[in-house]
Amino acid sequence: MILRTLKMATLASVLALGVAEAKETVVWWDFLGGGDGVRMKKLLEDFNAEHADTIEIQATTLEWGVPFYTKVQTAAAVGEGPDIMTYHLSRMPLGVSTGTLAEITADDLAGVGLAAGDYAPANYGAAQVDGKLYAVPFDMHAVVLYYNKDMLAAAGRLGDDGLPKGLDGAENFTAALKKLQEGGAEFGLSTHTAAGDSQWRIFYSLFGQQGGQFLTDEGFLAGDNLDKAVKAADLMASWVAEGLTPAATEYPASIALFTGGKAAMHINGVWEVPTMTDLHAKGELFEWGAIELPVLFDQPATWADSHAFAIPNNAGKDMTPEKRKAVLEVIAWMNKHSTFWATAGHLPAYNPARDNDEFRNMQPNATYSKLADSAVFDPSSVLTGVASPTYDAAGNFLMPAVNGEMSAQEAMEGMRDDLNGQM
C-alpha cells in the first residue's frame, strides 16, 4: 500500500512537471503607441490571464517606423528576433525580399481555426507575396475626415442624419472650406503639413480617386499617371496657398487646431479616434464625427494599410512545433478579439469581428467602415510602404509642393525620377 502510494505520488509529480514544462513563452515585439498601445496592452494582459497555464506573452514595444524595421531585419539575420511581431502589410515585399519573414501555410491557419475566407480580400491579398502568405492581417487603418458638427451645421453642410453634405467634388469641397472660414473657423481644414508621411496618405487617396497607378511595369508615375499625381498635389497645395489649411504644421498642432475649435475639419488616421473619444467623454470636445474621405475626383478611394502578425525567420534558430503552435494560437486569439481592437479606430480584418452587433453599433467606425470597399494600398514594392523610400520622397518633394516651396509639376517629376533611380 505504501509502495503504491509512493508510485502514485511520483507519477503525480512527473505529470505536474510535464504541465509546467509545457507552458510556452512567446516573445512579442510591436511598434504600437498612443491609443493603439493602450488597447494592445489590454489585449496582451487578457490573453496572458486566460492562458496562465499554457502560454505567456512577453511583450516589448519598439520605436515605430524605420527603427522598428531595421531592428527586426538585423535581429532575425542573427537569430535574435522575437517569436511574433506586428508588421505593416505595406512592408511585406521588403520583409520577404530580405528573408526576414517566415511563410504561414493554410495548414497553420486551419490548425487554429482560421481560413483565408475569414478576411477581407484586400487585407489577405496584401499579406501575400507570389501567392504565399507571410502575415495574418489584424486590421485595416486609413485616413478619414474628422468634422465639427456645430461648425458644419452653421455653414449648412450638415445633414439631418448628422453627416456632412455637399463635400463631394474638389470645387465643392474647397467652397465648403471657405464657407466654414466665413462662419468663424480659423481654418476650414487642418492637416499635418510638416511631414511627408501624412501628406502621402492624403495624396495617395486623391491620386487613387483618379484611378492612378503609382507603380507600373514602366516604373513610377509612368504615362498619364504623372498628370494625375500633379492634379492631386496641386489641389492640396491650393488649400495651403488660399489659407484654408495651415502650412508646415506639426502633427500635434494639426490635431490641436481641430480639437481646440480653430479648424472645422481634420484629415488624419483612424488611430486618432481614441483621442477624440476620450476628450469627448471628459466633456472637453464638441460634438464630432468621422467619415470616409469625400470623393473629390472620379471614384471613391482612400489610402489604407494594415497591421498584421508575422513570424520572423530567425537565422540558425528553428522554432519548435510546440512554440509555433503557441504563436499561431496567439494570432488566432487576437483576431477573434479584434472587435475590441476596433475601439482604437481600426477596422478589424477578421470578418466575424466586423460582422457583429457590437461593431455595427460602434461609432464612428461603423460609419466609415465602407471605405474598406474602395481602399487603396501602397503598390507592392521594396520601395513603397511605411518607412520606405517612397515616404522619403514624399518628404523631399510632395511636402515642399504642398507648402508652396516648389510647383506640383516639379515635385512630381522629382518624385518620379528619384524613385525610378532606385529601381
pLDDT of residue 17: 47
Q: What is the mean pLDDT of residues 288-299?
A: 98
The three-state secondary structure class of 265 is strand
Please, are residues 19 and 48 in contact by the beta-carbon 8 Å criterion? no
Left if phi > 0, otherwise alpha if psi is -120 to 50, otherwise beta: which for 317? beta
What are the grid coordinates assigned to 114, written together?
482560421
In a domain, 2, yes or no: no
In a domain, 353, yes or no: no
Q: How many helices (H) and strands (E) does the chain have?
A: 20, 16
The three-state secondary structure class of 163 is coil
Residue 205: CA count within 13 A, CB half-sphere: 29
- 6-42 pLDDT tens trace: 445 555 554 554 445 589 999 999 999 988 899 999 9
Q: Given CA atoms 292, 338, 191, 284 in this order, what sign does their dihedral have?
A: positive
pLDDT of residue 122: 83
In a domain, 162, yes or no: yes
Q: What is the mean pLDDT of residues 257-270?
A: 98
- 167-185 pLDDT tens trace: 999 999 999 999 999 999 9
Closest C-alpha among 199, 386, 365 to residue 307: 386
**Shared-domain flag, residues 68 and 114:** yes
CATH label of the domain that carries residue 119: 3.40.190.10
**Shared-domain flag, residues 200 and 108:** no
Q: From residue 187, give the alpha-carbon distance in Å to each of 263, 266, 288, 334.
A: 5, 10, 16, 40
Please, are residues 28 and 84 in contact by the beta-carbon 8 Å criterion? yes
Number of domains the chain contains: 2
pLDDT of residue 3: 46
**Shared-domain flag, residues 148 and 30:** no
**Shared-domain flag, residues 284 and 321:** no
pLDDT of residue 22: 81
- 93-112 pLDDT tens trace: 999 999 999 999 999 999 99
Q: From residue 196, give the alpha-carbon distance in Å to each of 162, 202, 304, 394.
A: 32, 10, 16, 5
Share of the chain above pLDDT 70, in %: 95
In a domain, 44, yes or no: yes
Q: What is the mean pLDDT of residues 45-74?
A: 96
**Preceding peptide of 352 cis, ω within 30°:** no
In a domain, 364, yes or no: no
Please, are residues 135 and 92 in contact by the beta-carbon 8 Å criterion? yes
CA distance from start to end of the chain: 79
Give me the phi and psi of 291, to 5 degrees please. -130, 165
The answer, yes or no, to whether residue 71 has pLDDT greater than 80, is yes
Please, are residues 337 and 43 in contact by the beta-carbon 8 Å criterion? yes
**Shared-domain flag, residues 148 and 94:** no
> Rounded to whole angstroms, how far apart are CA atoms 56 and 252?
36
Q: Name the average pLDDT for the chain.
A: 94
In a domain, 15, yes or no: no
**Shared-domain flag, residues 125 and 225:** no
Please, are residues 157 and 164 in contact by the beta-carbon 8 Å criterion? yes
122-126, 159-163, 267-271, 368-372: segment of lowest average pLDDT: 122-126
Q: What is the mean pLDDT of residues 235-263?
A: 98
**Shared-domain flag, residues 233 and 123:** no
* Count of CB atoms situated within 10 Å of the CB of 106: 11
> Rounded to whole angstroms, how far apart are CA atoms 173 and 159?
15
In a domain, 222, yes or no: yes
**Shared-domain flag, residues 66 and 105:** yes
pLDDT of residue 8: 52
Q: From residue 120, give the alpha-carbon distance in Å to each of 146, 206, 314, 315, 339.
A: 25, 23, 29, 32, 15
DSSP H/E element including 86: strand 84-88
pLDDT of residue 30: 97
Q: Which residues pair with 101 in a beta bridge?
A: 312
**Shared-domain flag, residues 49 and 128:** yes
> Rounded to whole angstroms, how far apart are CA atoms 109 and 336?
13
Could you tell me the residue range of the domain that residue 326 belongs to?
Answer: 21-137+307-348
- 153-167 pLDDT tens trace: 999 999 999 999 999
> Rounded to whole angstroms, how far apart are CA atoms 350 and 115?
10
Provide the strand spans (E) within 191-316: 215-216, 219-220, 263-269, 288-291, 302-305, 307-310
**Shared-domain flag, residues 147 and 221:** yes
Q: What is the mean pLDDT of residues 362-376?
A: 95
pTM: 0.92
**Shared-domain flag, residues 153 and 33:** no
In a domain, 169, yes or no: yes
Please, are residues 394 and 203 in contact by the beta-carbon 8 Å criterion? yes
The answer, yes or no, to whether residue 283 has pLDDT greater than 60, is yes
The three-state secondary structure class of 212 is coil
pLDDT of residue 12: 52
**Shared-domain flag, residues 407 and 288:** yes
